[in-house]
Structure formats: C-alpha cells, structure tokens
Amino acid sequence: MSDTATVSTETATYRRPSGLNAIYQDSRVIAWRNLVHLPRTPQLVIFTLIQPIMFVLLFTYVFGGAIGKALPPGVSYAQFLIPGIMVQTLVFGTSATAVGLAEDLQNGIIDRFRSLPISRSAVLNGRILADMIRLTAVATVLVVIGYVVGFRFQGGLGLGLLMILVAVAFGTSMCWIMTNIGMRVKDAETAQTAGFVWLFPLTFISSVFTPVYTMP
C-alpha cells in the first residue's frame, strides 16, 4: 500500500490595472525605458550640458559687456540672460524627442510596443515624461551655472522654483510638437533637422540675448 502525496500549487494570477491607472503604469515603464538609455550614452548627456554652458559663458563674458550697456541701471547681463538661455536650451533640447521617436519608428521598436498589451497612449506619454525629467535636470544645471556667473533669484527660492517649473512646462509642451514631427518624418536625421531649423531663427529674433527695444 503506497501513500500518494498530493501537491497543491497555487497559480498566481496577475490582474492588469484598468483605466487611468493602467495608462499611468504603462507610461511609467516606457519612461523608465527611455531614461535608462541616458547612462549608456554618456556622450549624449555631456553634449546636452555643454551647449548651454557654452552659450552662458560666451554671451556673459564675450558679448555681455556690449549688450549689457543697453540694460537698465542696476541690472546685470547675467540676470537678464539666464532665464532666456534656460528657455532656449529647453526648447532646443526638445529636438531629442523627435529624434528618439523617429529612431524607434525606424528600428521597429514602436511596432513591438504595439504588439504588447499596453495602452497605446503610453508610448507617447512615456516619451514625454522621460523628456520632462531630462529637461528638469538640464534646467537645474543651468541655474547652478547661472549662480557661478552672477545670476540670483531676486524674488526668493519660491519664485525661483516657479520660474524653473514654467520653463519646464513650456519645454514639455514643445515636446508634443516634436512628437508630431518625429512621427511624421520617421527618420532620425530628418527629424533632427526638421526640429531645429525653425527653432534657431525664432530664438535669435526673441529677447533671449538682447532687449527688444534695442532691435531695429
């Protein structure tokens, strides 16, 4: 007579979130996927930070003496320049949104995402969320560089954080425009050109580097 041992196994079932929670969870995963690429491409991070630092140092110490004479008394050129440079840098940085999305389309990554049981909007939401975090980091670095060259928050820390928040919000809204460009061109090189060619003249005809009343 033999004893038969019955082993009962419990099957763990995964219940997928629904509604907005599902969109949030899927978007968070896609955003993490986009963020983990940054440490693997340190040259991208380095050159992303070099450009704003170069602009700040160039315009502060080379052109600041001439342009600063047009400012009201008591206003330093660094105080005038840093907010504009921050917006310019974040707007230029949004071209990476178009390039990254075009690369994913070109390499078939988006098609793989579509075959997964995830929210369709999560692919775009995750891209925007990751880029928003990246823009926030760039804005923080710019504030540090600004303090080195003489920039100060005149209204206190609260208004300073609000300035960064507004700049990041504007950059994030521009990311959606770049998303549209990246999805339409579907080629990384074309996306980079299409995302940059119309931003460059808009920056230099704005009041980023010089007061409006000095323009012809």
Number of domains in the chain: 1
Give yes or no for a contact between 168 and 132, defined as CB atoms under 8 angstroms apart.
Answer: yes
Asked if residue 91 belongs to a domain, the reply is yes
Q: Is residue 14 part of a domain?
A: no
In a domain, 10, yes or no: no
Task: Tell whether 2 is covered by a domain.
Answer: no
The whole-chain average pLDDT of the chain stands at 83
Q: Which domain holds residue 45?
A: 20-207
Q: Is residue 94 part of a domain?
A: yes
pLDDT of residue 93: 85
pLDDT digits (tens, 9 = 90+) for 112-166: 888 888 888 889 999 999 999 999 999 999 999 999 988 888 888 888 899 999 9
**Tens of pLDDT along 22-53?**
888 888 999 999 888 877 777 777 777 888 88
94 pLDDT higher than 50: yes
Predicted structure pTM score: 0.81
What is the model's pLDDT at position 92? 86
Residue-wise pLDDT tens digits, 183-214: 888 788 888 888 778 887 887 788 787 887 78
Please check whether residue 43 lies inside any domain of the structure. yes
pLDDT value of residue 32: 93
Within-domain flag for 213:
no
Identify whether 153 is part of a domain.
Answer: yes
